């Protein structure tokens, strides 16, 4: 048998070297078209449009319809902080000047202080006396300089002050000391408050209309500055609390109700009659309040359903208020109907006055002659 040909390592290397040493033609230079096309594609590429999802009702409800906010310039004028420029004439409860009217107080102040009548504008009676409104700052300063002249008449003229009311509840009527039971009076409670807070109240009085013989009382103290919060009097009673005035609820001009006008979802109503079927410009109905049913506009201060600082009326109170307002509205309608009927009757009398009948003498004479001629022919 023939054995297979065996090639040595040397013959393989010689052949490979011979092939590599041959003068073969070089490869033609081919332009890199794929790179050029890539650069052209990137240069002329269209802008990428973001994918928009269809606005479905479910997505709107789930995500909420967001509106674009416009940054409008704030053209509203900033409200200036107006200080209370009034002056108060403080009088005791039994003072003879309390019986005077504002015009009488004006004459008394002019005579006692010898000032010009034009320095004081408006005078209003208050619980502690009278409130004076000076014309300007100069008149106010002049009145304060001359305020000592009223001290001889047991009256005080002082500027307005902003009091901070503090309620001190459950103060015992009596406290036990070495001397026995001692009644808690204004002076004793003022001294105790000054000991605890290092501030003496400017005024203190009983708060509310409780029974005088009750074992505990509630007091109201007035301060010029806020005292230390949470203090106790007599080391065991009366934790103080500041009185916070509740802000009045806003009036919504859209639905004419007493609530915040922000995000009002109620149906718009007429401000004249409260109807939701037409606007106020097209209203021909009589004036009626939407809240209490009275014969006035919905935004009137006469509305009994209008909230106060003590809060809004309850449902039972609203029911009574609306019944009373409806009765008043019906009474106004009846009065207007009676006035219209009376005016119509007066107009009818004016249009048809009683005129005397005018007798035509010529026609009567001619008719009488014809009658006599007819009678003669019959004969």
CATH number of 123's domain: 3.30.70
Report the predicted TM-score, pTM, of the whole model to 2 decimal places: 0.43
Domain match, 213 and 233 both: yes
- Residues 141 and 181 reside in one and the same domain: no
**Within a domain: residue 366?**
no
pLDDT at residue number 78? 47
Q: What is the pLDDT along the chain (379 residues), one digit of tens a residue?
A: 445 444 444 444 444 455 555 565 555 555 545 555 555 555 555 566 555 555 566 665 566 555 545 454 454 444 444 577 889 999 988 899 999 999 999 999 888 888 888 888 899 998 889 999 998 899 899 889 988 888 888 898 988 878 888 888 888 888 888 888 888 899 999 998 999 888 899 888 888 777 777 888 889 998 888 888 888 888 877 777 777 766 667 889 899 998 888 888 889 999 999 999 998 889 999 999 999 999 999 988 889 898 887 778 888 999 999 999 999 999 999 999 999 888 888 877 666 555 555 445 555 454 554 554 455 444 4
d(CA 10, CA 274): 116
Give the distance between the most distant pair of CA atoms in the chain. 194
259 plus 306 within the same structural domain: yes
Considering the domain architecture, whether residues 260 and 327 belong to the same structural domain is answered as yes
In a domain, 194, yes or no: yes
CB 167 within 8 A of CB 240: yes
Q: What is the count of structural domains for the chain?
A: 3
């Amino acid at each position: 048998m023939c054995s297979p040909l065996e090639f040595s390592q040397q013959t393989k290397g010689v052949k490979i070297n011979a092939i590599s040493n041959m003068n073969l033609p070089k490869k033609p230079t081919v332009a890199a078209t794929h790179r050029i096309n890539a650069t052209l594609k990137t240069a002329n590429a269209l802008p990428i449009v973001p994918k928009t999802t269809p606005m479905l009702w479910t997505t709107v409800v789930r995500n909420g319809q967001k509106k674009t906010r416009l940054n409008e310039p704030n053209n509203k004028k900033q409200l200036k902080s107006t200080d209370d420029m009034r002056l108060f004439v403080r009088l005791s409860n039994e003072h003879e000047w309390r019986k005077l009217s504002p015009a009488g107080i004006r004459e008394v102040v002019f005579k006692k202080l010898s000032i010009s009548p034009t320095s004081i504008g408006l005078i209003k009676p208050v619980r502690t006396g009278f409130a004076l409104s000076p014309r300007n700052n100069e008149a106010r300063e002049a009145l304060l300089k001359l305020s000592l002249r009223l001290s001889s008449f047991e009256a005080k003229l002082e500027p307005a002050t902003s009091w901070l009311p503090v309620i001190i509840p459950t103060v015992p009527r009596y406290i036990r000391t070495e001397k026995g039971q001692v009644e808690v009076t204004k002076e004793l409670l003022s001294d105790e408050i000054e000991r605890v807070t290092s501030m003496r109240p400017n005024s203190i009085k009983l708060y509310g209309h409780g029974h005088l013989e009750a074992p505990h009382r509630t007091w109201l103290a007035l301060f010029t500055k806020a005292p230390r919060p949470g203090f106790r009097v007599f080391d065991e009673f009366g934790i103080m609390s500041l009185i916070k005035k509740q802000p009045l609820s806003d009036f919504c001009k859209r639905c004419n109700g007493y609530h915040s006008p922000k995000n009002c979802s109620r149906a718009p109503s007429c401000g004249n009659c409260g109807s939701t079927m037409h606007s106020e410009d097209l209203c021909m109905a009589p004036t009626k309040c939407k809240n209490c049913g009275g014969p006035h506009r919905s935004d009137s201060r006469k509305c009994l359903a209008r909230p106060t600082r003590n809060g809004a009326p309850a449902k039972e109170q609203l029911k009574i208020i609306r019944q009373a307002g409806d009765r008043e509205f019906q009474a106004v309608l009846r009065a207007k109907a009676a006035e219209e009927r009376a005016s119509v009757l007066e107009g009818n009398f004016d249009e048809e006055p009683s005129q005397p009948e005018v007798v035509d003498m010529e026609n009567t004479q001619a008719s009488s002659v014809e009658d006599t001629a007819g009678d003669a022919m019959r004969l």
